[in-house]
Amino acid sequence: MRARRAAPSPSAGEPTRPTRSSGRWTPWTTTTTLLVLCGCICTICGYFFTCLHVTPSPSDPPVREQPSHSFDGGLPVVQAPGLEIAVWQWAADRPFAMKAVRFGKPVVIKHSCVQRWKALQRWSPRYLERMIGPELTGVYRNTESLHFGPYYDASRPLARHFPTAPNLYESNASVPVTSLLRGAKGATDPTRPSGAGSTAPSGKGGPWTYYTGELDRFGDWAFEDIEPFGELILPMPERSSINLWMGTAGVTAHCHYDGYHNFYAQIKGRKRFTVLSPTDSMLVRPYPFLHPCHAQCQTNLSDPAIGPIAASTVVLEPGDLLYLPPLYFHHVVSLESSVSVNAWTDTEQSQLAQTMLDTPLPPIPSISSHSPASVSAWTALYIAMSVLAVCAHTRDDPVGFVASLVDQRYSTLLAEGRLPAPLWSQSDVCNSSLQAAGMAEFNPKEYAAAVCGAADQLPASTAALWLGNYIEGTVALALGGDPDHVGHVLNLARSCSCGHGLPHCGS
């Protein structure tokens, strides 16, 4: 699920609330030179660019109201080795944010400062109706399914080839506030296979609705009800956001990743998070970075046909706080009508990725003896392979890295013919005379060293996702801002890179 971010906080201290500002931090901001590598809008050349159930301890305060409707059950999950979600028993006055960030893995924090929030007791349907008003606009509404997503961004470079969202639902409905906090009658859990105690989703029992948006919309009372919240934005207060989430029982967020630190506080009801490591990209197959469903997964974890998955699950109770590090995949189901608050903060990882993109490309060679399309394709591939042959995370097998990237993101789209055919053939690009002419004029060695200076500082667990996004964007730039043939160029790595003069196989 996605939300626009709230205004940035002015300092690294404990603020009373993020301040309204014309210079809002929002990764949806588009510029003519910026490529945001955390799954948000990009602009290129002015055009685009664990199986663990957390239960309350005996000392947990009895703050949960009985929901009107609920359902249970879940995905068939096999515990992923090494990704057991830790549970920290904490104290409300103890700092935790930087400890969680340094821990670097998902963790549930119980008895944190969230236990001091007035929202735990106050935010009943009647209270929220009185404070927000009888109706709320900007609500997502689905009459056919509990499943929302994959998120669709029509401004993405490849959107013209995928003009229809894969899952249609209303995105700006106006509904009574109290209806968001009532379970949908007859809701069935779409994450359970038939015969497992729940029927497959039939569209009956809807509509299903959820709201997500910046808390700043609602004014001072909302921030006062979640004091103290400074720890949640401590990793980078000046680039932070706080958001409200409300929805009916059964609402399901499609598996995706975010490029930010995410502290997620459960206020009312229960939510189940299914979490996978960034290194599990091959399992969930994220869409291409240039695709309108960027940062979403092609694998639908709500589909029982996929069978058991190696993942970790955790159920958040009211008062629980979940920390999700950047780029961890997560699939979320509201087990009951639910209210949550989360804080996103920017991360040093995204800034390193931005540094990679800010590195100016070397001059593109002009070779009159070959077609411009062939030259640009060869140059784009050469730049990509030159970088991957130098960076510490990929230099042992740059060809394998690109092959895996294509298999994860582009193989289905290429096999189905969803992308335009290139204006060159493999023999045009994997051509010894073109290789010789190009390498005589073109040396991206210094460029590769500069890019890898930033890339080598990325954590091993997330480097592949960041580098994959960077490679897609850079290949598009080298193609003159053309996103249509990025997948085709990368698919040449298996055949063109080894034995044709390109950097390859760790050389």
- Joined together, the tokens standing for residue 85 give 């979600």
Asked if pLDDT for residue 9 goes beyond 70, the answer is no
Residue bearing tokens 């890295």: 401
Residues 199-223: tens digit of each pLDDT = 333 335 778 999 999 999 999 999 9
One-letter amino acid for residue 226 of the chain: I
Q: Which of 12-21, 115-124, 143-152 has the lowest mean pLDDT?
A: 12-21
Alpha-carbon distance 330 to 274, whole Å? Answer: 5
Residue carrying the six token digits 């050469």: 382
d(CA 505, CA 507): 6
- Omega within 30 of 0 (cis) for the link into 286: no
Separation CA 312–CA 191 (nearest Å) = 15
Cα distance between residue 345 and residue 343, in whole Å: 7
pLDDT at 504: 53
Mean pLDDT in residue range 404-414: 96
In the structure encoding, which two tokens stand for residue 9, read together? Answer: 């906080």
Average pLDDT over residues 415-420: 94
Hey, how many other C-beta atoms are within 10 angstroms of the C-beta on 33? 11
27-34: average pLDDT: 32
| Number of H-type helices and E-type strands within the chain | 16, 15
Which tens digits make up the pLDDT trace of 161-212?
A: 999 888 889 999 999 999 998 753 333 343 433 333 333 333 357 789 999 9
Beta bridge partners of 334: 271
Residue type, 432: S
Residue 332 has pLDDT above 70, yes or no: yes
Retrieve residue 189's tokens.
Answer: 């859990």
Residue 446 burial (CB count, 10 A): 10
Q: Range with the lowest mean pLDDT among 146-150, 258-262, 300-304?
A: 300-304
Residue found by looking up tokens 């005589």 in the block: 440
Q: Are 207 and 170 in contact (CB under 8 A)?
A: no
Residue 78's pLDDT band, with cuts at 50, 70 and 90, is low
- Complete edge-to-edge strand list for the sheet that includes strand 309-316: 77-79, 309-316, 271-276, 329-334, 252-256, 147-148
Tell me how far apart the alpha carbons of residues 209 and 128 are, in angstroms, rounded to a whole number. 16
Residue with the bigger pLDDT between 436 and 11: it is 436
* Of the candidates 57, 82, 15, the residue with the CA atom closest to the CA atom of residue 345: 15
| Confidence (pLDDT) at 165 | 85
In DSSP terms, which residues pair with 170 in a beta bridge? 141
**What is the per-residue pLDDT for 438?**
83
Q: Residue 274 in contact with residue 313, Cβ under 8 Å? A: yes
Distance CA 272, CA 340 (A): 12
Over residues 324-338, the mean pLDDT reads: 96
Greater model confidence, 112 or 304: 112
Most confident of 202-211, 301-310, 408-417: 408-417
- Separation between Cα atoms, residue 472 and residue 408, nearest integer Å: 13
pLDDT value at position 434?
85
Q: What is the pLDDT of residue 416?
A: 94
Q: Is the pLDDT of residue 493 over 70?
A: yes
What is the rounded CA–CA span in Å between residue 310 and residue 325? 19
For residue 148, list its beta bridge partners.
253
Whole-structure pTM value: 0.84
